[in-house]
Amino acid sequence: DVKVTQSSRYLVKRTGEKVFLECVQDMDHENMFWYRQDPGLGLRLIYFSYDVKMKEKGDIPEGYSVSREKKERFSLILESASTNQTSMYLCASSLLGTGANYEQYFGPGTRLTVT
Amino acid sequence: DQQVKQNSPSLSVQEGRISILNCDYTNSMFDYFLWYKKYPAEGPTFLISISSIKDKNEDGRFTVFLNKSAKHLSLHIVPSQPGDSAVYFCAASAKDYGNNRLAFGKGNQVVVIP
C-alpha cells in the first residue's frame, strides 16, 4: 500500500514566521507534488519535483520554495508566512511514465492557519 | 487558464439514484483522465480513470464516459450512497504535460440524501 505522510495535520503560525511542511512517501516514487486547496479554487499546484534536487514551478509558486534532498522526502517552505497562505496543503507522489503512472497518491493534508 | 472545468459546483441526490458529474477540458493533448474523491480534512483518493483510447470504463458503481470529440467526460455513480457524499475532482494529463503533473478541475460537491 502506497503511503504518503505529512508531518503535521494542523499547524498554527504567526505572520512572518518561516514554516516547513514535510512530506514523505514510501513507494520509491520519482515524482512529488505540493498543492494547496481552497474553497472554490480546487487543487492548485505550487511546486513539483521529478528527481532529487530537481524542482519545477507549478501554477502558484510565489511565496513558497521547496527542497528535495532525498528521493522519499519533499519539503515545502514558506519563507515568511502571510495570512493569505492559510490553507489546506496537500502532498502527492507518483511514478514516472504515462497511463496509469499518472495516478498521484495523496497525503492526509496539513491545515495551516497563519494569524 | 483553467484547462479542466467542472461546472455545477454542487449536486444533491437521493440515496439510490444516479449521480452524474461532468467535466470539460480544453487541451486536446490530454490523453488520460482521472477522478478523485475527497472527504473533508483528508487527502484526495483515486477513484477511477480512463485512457483516451477508450470511451467507457466501469468499476463497480462508478462509470466514466469519455467523449473526445466534445472534450467532455462524465462520472456516473449508480446507485448513490450516503458515503459518496464528498468533493469529486476531475483531472487530466498528457505525455508532454510536465512530468506527470495533473490539471485539476475545481471540484464538485456531492451530497447524497438518505
**A positions 28-87 inside 8 Å of B (CB):** 31, 33, 40-45, 48, 50, 56, 58
In sequence order, the β-bridge partners of residue B15 are: none
- Report yes or no: B107 and B8 within 8 Å, Cβ to Cβ: no
Does residue A98 have a pLDDT over 80? no
Query: Residue A109 and residue B41: Cβ atoms within 8 Å?
Result: yes
**Cell 459546483 maps to which residue?**
B9
Q: Determine, for residues A107 and B107 on separate chains, whether the beta-carbon distance falls below 8 Å.
A: no
pLDDT at A100: 77
Q: Is A90 close to B43, i.e. CB distance below 8 A?
A: yes
pLDDT band at residue B97 using 50, 70 and 90 as cut-offs? confident
Chain B residue with Cα closest to A47? B101
Which chain A residues are closer than 8 Å to B100 by Cβ?
31, 50, 94-97, 101-102, 104
User: Are A31 and B51 inside 8 Å of each other by CB?
Assistant: no
> What whole-number percentage of chain B has pLDDT above 90?
85
Encode pLDDT of A42-72 as tens digits: 899 999 999 999 999 999 999 999 999 999 9
Share of chain A above pLDDT 70, in %: 98
Mutate to test the interface with B, among A96, A102, A103 (most CBs of B within 10 A): A102
Question: Are residues A96 and B49, on separate chains, in Cβ contact within 8 Å?
Answer: no
CA B70 to chain centre: 16
DSSP state letters, A47-75: EEESSTT--EE-S--TTEEEEEEETTEEE
Contacts of A104 in chain B (CB under 8 A): 46, 100, 102
pLDDT at A2: 65
Task: Give percent above pLDDT 70 in chain B.
Answer: 98
Question: Is the separation of the CB atoms in B91 and B4 below 8 Å?
Answer: yes
How do residues B22-77 score in pLDDT, each as one tens digit?
999 999 999 999 999 999 989 999 999 999 999 999 999 999 999 999 999 999 99
Classify B83 as helix, strand or coil.
helix
The nearest CA of chain B is from the CA of A50 a distance in Å of 7
Q: Quick check: A56 and B46 CB within 8 A?
A: no
